[in-house]
Amino acid sequence: MCHGAKLALPMVLGQAAAHYEVSLTAMAVPVGAFGLCMGLASLPAGLWSDRYGAARVLTAYFWLTAVGALLCWAAPNLALFTLAHALLGAAAGLYHPAGLGLLSLSVERRSLGFAMGLHGMAGPLGMAATPILMLRFALMGDWRTGFLWLAGAAAAAALCSHGLRARKLVLDQAPDRLAKGERSGLRGAPVLLLVSVIGVNAFLADGFAVMFPEMIKTRGVFVWDVDAVLASILAVGAIGQFIGGMLTKGASPSSLYVVAVAAQPLILLSVGLWLDAPVMPFLLLAGFTFFNFMTQPLENSLLAGFTARAKRGTVYALKFLVGLVIGSPAPIVAAALLEKSGFATAWQIFGVVGLLAIVLVFLFRRAEARARPALAG
């Protein structure tokens, strides 16, 4: 639901721009507002989860999503739609710090990567369902109806959350603090570098979310419907999430993280070069979603090793705060590049930006290696 809500507008960006009679770049502003508000809401969400318990924050997430989606459906103009979409983004910001914090407290450390991978599969599967939902309604003449369905699903989930809390099937209070002497894991340079890599990854992902649906819709597809192709590419992300989680079990995810980060800008550069090929661009787009989603359980597992259990919600909030704030301008930049320079240039520019992540991830590995002996001592 959270990932699908973020991708709902990018799936119908062109139709929405035509509906409000604005440019593609102007219609990308609500997409950026979603990411910015999602990032800003992440920090208080993490603090509230650590203080009051994740279940309360998750329940609030569902209700706020229902309200935001309903307002998006009803918005009569772009200004009000932007405010409603920003509220929907703020709601999404509540989810990950609470959800990941709760998950990290519910499983043993050696099984955390695997659990994160299983949990993460739901995100890209929700994203894969989004183009089918949104584009089907767009073809029927009202692209906003998908937001109405999202509001109904969120309200139903909120009621389920109340039921689970009443039966005490999820934690409904702040987790007990561990001993005061508990080690909080790596600090300093490794954490700062890791968060910087996360920010670049988020920028690439948010730009990708705007560019690849428009590219597929304008190029046409020979065999499948457009929404089926979009859904298939996004579904590959679920496989990446699962494999990323599986590969962290019993091993440090750092080396795997380097591979997943380095692959993304190289793929984006390749899309720009192979744009006119009949099949290769679609395979490359699927490859990007695979590696981008693969990084998420790896990042979550690394961050869990850096912090005390009582502060898990806060550290995941920091991850999403940095990533989403840095990524929030990407949809507007991507839309402007598409309108002014075309797809090839847009993909190549984002690929060049992504090269920064390769530099940062290697610096992270060096800093981590230096910090390990001190931490072990």
Q: How far apart are CA 4 and CA 64, in angstroms?
A: 15
What does pLDDT average to over the chain? 82
With beta carbons less than 8 A apart as the criterion, state whether 320 and 303 touch: no
pLDDT at 74: 94
**Per-residue confidence of the chain (377 residues) as pLDDT tens digits?**
888 898 889 888 888 999 999 998 999 999 989 988 988 898 888 888 777 788 889 899 999 999 999 999 999 999 999 999 999 999 998 998 888 777 776 677 667 666 766 777 777 777 777 877 787 777 677 888 889 889 999 999 999 989 988 888 776 555 554 444 444 444 567 778 888 999 999 999 999 988 988 888 776 554 456 777 888 888 888 888 878 877 766 556 788 899 999 999 999 999 988 888 878 888 999 999 999 988 888 887 787 766 666 666 677 777 878 888 888 899 999 999 998 999 999 999 999 999 999 999 999 888 887 766 544 44
* Token pair belonging to 329: 């301008």
| DSSP string over 157-170 | HHHHHHHHHHTT-S
Query: What CA–CA distance (Å, rounded) separates 51 from 298?
Result: 26
Please state at what angle helix 54-74 crosses helix 78-106, rounded to 10 degrees.
Answer: 160
Token digits for 124? Answer: 């890209």
d(CA 37, CA 44): 12
Separation CA 364–CA 196 (nearest Å): 9
pLDDT given at position 306: 64
What is the model's pTM? 0.74
CB 208 within 8 A of CB 101: no
Structure tokens at 375: 């931490």
Q: What is the pLDDT of residue 313?
A: 63
| Residue 8 · residue 290 · CB < 8 Å | no
Query: What pLDDT score was predicted for residue 187?
Result: 55
Amino acid 183: pLDDT: 47
- Side chain identity, residue 319: K
215, 216, 220, 226: CA torsion to nearest 10: -150
List of residues 6+ apart from 343 with CB closer than 8 A: 211, 215, 272, 275
Rounded Cα gap, residues 347 and 204, in angstroms: 10
User: Quick one: which of 221, 344, 206, 321 has its CA closest to 271?
Assistant: 344
Burial class (CB in 10 A: 0-12, 13-18, 19+), 364: buried
Closest CA to 293 of 99, 121, 38, 126: 121
CA distances to 28, 108, 162, 243 from 114, rounded to whole Å, are 35, 10, 27, 9
pLDDT at 186: 42
Cα four-point dihedral sign 199, 202, 206, 211: positive
**∠ Cα 363 365 369 (to 5°):** 120
* Percent of the chain scoring above 70 in pLDDT: 83
pLDDT tens per residue, range 240-269: 887 887 776 655 678 889 999 999 999 999
